[in-house]
Structure 1
Amino acid sequence: MGGYTDNKTFVGFQNFSKLFQSEKFYQTFQNSVLLIVIVTIVTFALALLFASMLTREKLKGQNFLRVVFYIPNILSVVVISAIFSAIFDPNSGLLNAFLKLFRGFQAEPILWLGDQKIVIFSLAGAMIWQAIGYYMVMYMASMANIPESLYESAGLEGAGRMTQFFQITIPLIWTNIRTTLTFFIISTINMSFLFVMTMTSGGPDGATEVFLSYMYKEAYTNSSYGYGMAIGVIVFLFSFALAGILNAVTRREHLEY
Structure 2
Amino acid sequence: MEINKGRGRFIFLCLAPAVLLFVIFLIIPTFDVFRMSLYKWGGYTDNKTFVGMQNFTKLFQSDKFYQTFQNSVLLIVIVTVVTFGLALIFASMLSREKLKGQNLLRVIFYIPNILSVVVISAIFSAIFDPNSGLLNSILNLFRGSGADPILWLGDQKIVIFSLGGAMIWQAIGYYMVMYMASMANVPESLYESAGLEGAGRMTQFFSITIPLIWTNIRTTLTFFIISTINMSFLFVMAMTSGGPDGSTEVFLSYMYKEAYTNSSYGYGMAIGVVVFLFSFALAAILNIVTKRDHLEY
CA deviations 1:16-53 (Å, max 9, x no partner) are 00000000000000000000000000000000000000
1:216 Cα offset (Å) = 0.1
| Paired residues for 1:85-96 under 5 Å | 85-96=125-136
Query: What 5-or-longer segments of structure 2 have no aligned partner?
Result: 1-41
CA deviations 1:130-158 (Å, max 9, x no partner) are 00000000000000110000000000000
1:245 Cα offset (Å) = 0.2
1:5 Cα offset (Å) = 1.7
- Residues of 1 paired with 2:253 and 2:296: CA distance? 43
CA deviations 1:217-244 (Å, max 9, x no partner) are 0000000000000000000000000000
- Residues of 1 paired with 2:47 and 2:155: CA distance? 43
- Residues of 1 paired with 2:80 and 2:66: CA distance? 21
- Residues of 1 paired with 2:48 and 2:201: CA distance? 65
- Residues of 2 paired with 1:189 and 1:149: CA distance? 40
**TM-score normalised by structure 1 residue count:** 0.99
CA RMSD of aligned residues (A): 0.4
CA deviations 1:69-92 (Å, max 9, x no partner) are 000000000000000000000000
- Residues of 2 paired with 1:253 and 1:109: CA distance? 51
- Residues of 1 paired with 2:201 and 2:257: CA distance? 50
- Residues of 2 paired with 1:163 and 1:244: CA distance? 31
- Residues of 2 paired with 1:58 and 1:207: CA distance? 44
CA deviations 1:56-114 (Å, max 9, x no partner) are 00000000000000000000000000000000000000000000011111100000000
**DSSP-derived class of the 2:49 partner:** coil
Query: What 5-or-longer segments of structure 1 have no aligned partner?
Result: none
| Paired residues for 1:180-219 under 5 Å | 180-219=220-259
1:6 Cα offset (Å) = 1.4
1:168 Cα offset (Å) = 0.1
CA deviations 1:158-187 (Å, max 9, x no partner) are 000000000000000000000000000000
- Residues of 2 paired with 1:226 and 1:178: CA distance? 36
**DSSP-derived class of the 1:182 partner:** helix
* The one of 165, 177, 198 aligned to 2:217: 177
**DSSP-derived class of the 1:108 partner:** coil
**DSSP-derived class of the 2:130 partner:** coil
- Spell out structure 1 runs of 4+ moving beyond 2 A: none
1:7 Cα offset (Å) = 1.9
Matched, 1:77 2:147: no
Alignment match, 2:87: 47
Matched, 1:225 2:256: no
- Residues of 2 paired with 1:244 and 1:165: CA distance? 28
- Residues of 2 paired with 1:47 and 1:170: CA distance? 12
* Larger CA deviation: 237-246 vs 2-11: 2-11
- Residues of 1 paired with 2:172 and 2:248: CA distance? 22
State percent identity of aligned pairs.
90
- Residues of 2 paired with 1:157 and 1:200: CA distance? 53
**DSSP-derived class of the 1:251 partner:** coil
Alignment match, 1:14: 54
1:3 Cα offset (Å) = 2.0
1:4 Cα offset (Å) = 1.8
**TM-score normalised by structure 2 residue count:** 0.86
CA deviations 1:191-220 (Å, max 9, x no partner) are 000000000000000000000000000000
- Residues of 2 paired with 1:99 and 1:145: CA distance? 43
- Residues of 2 paired with 1:8 and 1:56: CA distance? 62
Alignment match, 1:246: 286
- Structure exhibiting the larger radius of gyration computed from Cα positions: 2
- Residues of 2 paired with 1:111 and 1:58: CA distance? 41
- Residues of 2 paired with 1:116 and 1:205: CA distance? 8
